Chains A and B, each alone.
Chain A
Amino acid sequence: MRTIATLLLSAGLVASASQTLAGPKEDLEKFRAYFEQKFPGMQLDDFGNGAYALDASKRLQWESMEEFPPYEEFVDKGREIWEKPFKNGKSFADCFGKDPSKVRVRYPHWDSKTQQVVTLEGDINKCLKENGEKPFKWKKGPIAWLSAFFGYEARGQKINVKIPDDPKALEAYEKGKHFFYAKRGQLNMACADCHVKYAGHFIRGNLLSPALGHVTHFPVYRAKWAKKSKNGDGLGTLHRRYGGCNKQVRARPFKAQSEEYRDLEFFHQYMSNGLTINAPGYRE
């Protein structure tokens, strides 16, 4: 009798232990396997091309856009921002190091001192403030130009987010993961409903992109955003996109760079580890 109880108990312990052991690494393996099964034969890096990887005729249009990319002048503006010294004589290189091609791959990361997820955009504004300059607005304009410049310089390198074995970092990762899978808004849909479950399907005329590879081309240049702006500037940050996707399901969007979106980014970028950076990208 006692042995049976012990057996049951230890089986229970083993089961719960293996559940807690399922950390980021196991999540990533399953996530990737899911998409590889859903889209057999697709090259891993092709996931970074979003919906265009799934639709041949759209892909042709898109490839012709990429020949004379409309984002180029804004990447150049980003380069100018990078090169221009601050009023105190210092520059972004004093915050990020001399080589702009080494910046993008370090983000997002866990900062053990402040116990939070640090994003590239967050550090751009931190650098400005520390040097007595006015911070940029979060979602578009100069912050997106500079971020796009860092992305452009990092083309060909791989996304490489590290989740340290620190309970607080894992908590942030878990929060981001939960955000991604939880249904929200009046339409009661999760990020994962559209970009995991229904990836490759059409919704109101839009082909839904797989979440694998979502982040490789951010900041993104969208024709829709360019139309809304006065100077044809269609660049926007990842958090601008998060806000748009929350609004679509009639949930109240969070502020760009809020803890919610930084944690989401931590999870979301980690899921694309190993994919090649191809920022900025062009999208409809």
Chain B
Amino acid sequence: MKKSIVAVGMALLIAGCNATTPEKPMSLKEQYEAALARTKAAVEKAASVDGEWRDIRWKKSKKRYLPKAIEAAKAGDYEKALKLLKIAEFQAEMGYKQAIAEKNAGPQLYGM
């Protein structure tokens, strides 16, 4: 009797674990691919409201986080690529938010 309770408990424990952990952790490459897709979408969204910042992908910027992330990934350095994408995605989201927040900007803010 005691044994069977333990067995049921074990079974539940295992089942529970299986439900929450993914079968296999995402590889760095997979993480990079997901982050790249997210970042690209965020940049397009910012650009669609004229809110893109200078250093995300503009060709004359020295930083160019997005193209440099792609370069790093091509060279196999996914960790660096992920770091750069994180900045690019954050800046794209902020640029979008900024443009939306500024929708009604006008001279009234300057006492005119």
Contacts and interface: CB of A to CB of B under 8 A. Distances in A.
Contacts of B106: 177-178, 181
A190 interface: yes
Interface stretch (A26-34, A126-134, A230-238, A274-282): A26-34
A30 B50 contact: no
Given A31-B107, A184-B102, A252 B112 contact: no
A250 B54 contact: yes
A183 interface: yes
B112 A34 contact: yes
What is the interface of chain A mostly: helix, strand, loop, or mixed?
A: helix
B74 to A, nearest CB: 24
A89 to B, nearest CB: 40
B110 A252 contact: no
Interface residues of A, number: 27
A252 B105 contact: no
A197 interface: yes
B54 A186 contact: yes
A112 B22 CA distance: 61
Interface residues of B, number: 22
Nearest to A181: B105
Interface in A2-49: 27, 30-31, 33-34
A188 B94 CA distance: 10
Interface in A240-284: 246-247, 250-254, 260
A185 to B, nearest CB: 6
Interface in A194-231: 196-197
Contacts of A185: 53-54
A163 interface: no
Nearest to B43: A252
Interface of A: 27, 30-31, 33-34, 177-179, 181-186, 188, 190, 192, 196-197, 246-247, 250-254, 260
